């Protein structure tokens, strides 16, 4: 059975850890229609709910029913208050080394779209910053709103951005992404805010690929892309210990949120919103408002790499 067919069917176990995040991020209910799409395949060795989404009956406020860690001590995202973040002179500069040839494919997983990378060597890595060791790039994806006044998961002084980019990396001290994802130091995610402004030519190759993956389960090749081109000029960052922002909400993420946003035009944001949560042949439901709101800090410290 093809990967597409397996994901649509929603049966069997995903033993291949490279499909872990696709399984994790599938199985949405349309927040506008309140109608469930196909359930995701179960995650090997874990229990998955088939009904989580972003609607009133299955959205972030309800996730704790199936995933009690939703109310845990280190949940994400958070509201970052710059005046309360602690400057830490021991924080190192970020070192991001990405090989464009590792860019492999682009997928609509029914929750967002993600660009996947070959991660069997240390050719695309994150080092430095708040982390120890080497973390390999697994994929990047975005969260966005139905309008430009919301969409980011993290906020700054309570202010939302229309979109947020997440570059997901896993700690190579563990044998695979899937195993790293359950460890307290297993993942490192770099978050980048998108702010309405001039059209961003570096985003355009990604956005041009979206026409081929409009519906859930669609994927296509996406070769020779350097995600470093999506980063802002300054790599100043805030960092804190947090979690995945989608079920199963595992508390395994060192968050690195860049201070400087990148630009995106209104027309480019419209391209994000042209995707669908739903599969081909289903009643269309626009992919938008696919973000979790900020969670309580619960005594955690947010550190800053800059004064």
DSSP 243-292: --SSTT--S-EEEEEESS-EEE-HHHHHHHHTSBSSBTTSPP-B-----P
* Of 87, 98, 135, 174, catalytic: 174
pLDDT digits (tens, 9 = 90+) for 193-218: 999 999 999 999 999 999 999 999 99
Q: Residue 50 belongs to a domain with what CATH number?
A: 3.10.200.10
Please indicate whether residue 174 is annotated as part of the active site: yes
Record the pTM: 0.86
* Of 54, 98, 111, 141, catalytic: 111
Residue 2: pLDDT above 50?
Answer: no
DSSP three-state, residue 6: helix
Domain count, the chain: 1
Q: What percent of the chain has pLDDT over 90?
A: 81
Residue 173: pLDDT above 70?
Answer: yes
Range of the domain at 108: 3-304
Residue 4: pLDDT above 80?
Answer: no
Q: What average pLDDT does this structure show over 107-134?
A: 98
Please indicate whether residue 87 is annotated as part of the active site: no
Report the pLDDT value the prediction gives residue 298, as an integer from 0 to 100.
99
The pairing of beta strand 303-304 with beta strand 86-87: parallel
Report the pLDDT value the prediction gives residue 278, as an integer from 0 to 100.
94
């Amino acid at each position: 059975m093809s990967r597409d067919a397996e994901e649509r069917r929603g049966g069997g176990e995903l033993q291949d850890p490279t499909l872990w995040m696709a399984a994790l991020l599938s199985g949405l209910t349309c927040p506008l229609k309140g109608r469930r799409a196909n359930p995701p395949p179960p995650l090997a060795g874990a229990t998955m709910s088939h009904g989580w989404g972003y609607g009133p009956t299955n959205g972030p406020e309800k996730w704790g029913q199936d995933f009690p860690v939703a109310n845990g001590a280190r949940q994400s995202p958070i509201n970052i208050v710059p005046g309360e973040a602690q400057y830490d002179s021991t924080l190192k500069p970020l070192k991001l080394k990405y090989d464009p040839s590792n860019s492999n494919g682009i997928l609509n997983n029914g929750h967002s779209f993600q660009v996947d990378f070959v991660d069997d060597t240390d050719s695309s890595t994150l080092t430095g910053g708040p982390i120890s060791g080497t973390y390999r790039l697994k994929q990047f994806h975005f969260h966005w709103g139905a309008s430009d006044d919301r969409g980011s998961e993290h906020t700054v002084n309570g202010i939302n951005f229309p979109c947020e980019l997440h570059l997901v990396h896993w700690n190579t001290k563990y044998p695979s992404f899937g195993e790293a994802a359950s460890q307290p130091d297993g993942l490192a995610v770099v978050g980048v805010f998108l702010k309405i402004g001039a059209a961003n030519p570096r985003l355009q190759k990604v956005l041009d690929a979206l026409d081929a993956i409009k519906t859930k389960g669609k994927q296509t090749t996406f070769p020779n892309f350097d995600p470093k081109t999506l980063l802002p000029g300054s790599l100043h960052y805030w960092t804190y210990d947090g979690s995945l922002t989608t079920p199963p909400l595992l508390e395994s993420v060192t968050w690195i949120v860049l201070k400087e946003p990148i630009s995106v035009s209104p027309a480019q944001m419209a391209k994000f919103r042209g995707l669908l949560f739903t599969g081909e042949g289903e009643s269309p439901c626009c992919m938008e408002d696919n973000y979790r709101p900020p969670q309580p800090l619960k005594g955690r410290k947010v550190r800053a790499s800059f004064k």
